[in-house]
Amino acid sequence: MIRGLLLAAGLLALGWFFIRVCADGGAMGSAYQTCECKGFEWQAYDRTAADGPRRTVCLGILRSRSCWQSRGGPQVPCGQ
């Protein structure tokens, strides 16, 4: 029982540190961000074309993050 709880807590902690949103934003005039994922990147959910690009999630380490004022617009500092 205790081993199971410790294993579950360990998996949650690993997920907390190694699962991050990679590409997001760009809809309705919001900032758009992308990243370079060292690991596995997958599409989190499908949105309509009017909402802009799809959100992706990185399972691994984020090597770099880039943010733009709009899709294809000038690059801006990324807020955490």
pLDDT of residue 32: 79
Read off the pLDDT of residues 23-78 as tens digits, 9 standing for 90 and up: 777 666 677 788 888 888 888 766 666 655 678 888 888 888 888 887 777 888 87
Token output for 1: 């029982």
Token output for 31: 């900032």
Cβ-based burial of 60 (10 A; exposed 0-12, middle 13-18, buried ≥19)? middle
- 6-10, 12-16, 61-65: least confident range: 12-16
Could you say which DSSP state residue 70 is in? Answer: S
The structure's pTM equals: 0.60
pLDDT of residue 28: 67
Given a cut of 70, is residue 19 above it in pLDDT? Answer: yes
The backbone region for 46, taken as left when phi is positive above 0, alpha when psi lies in -120 to 50, beta otherwise, is beta
The residue type at 74? P
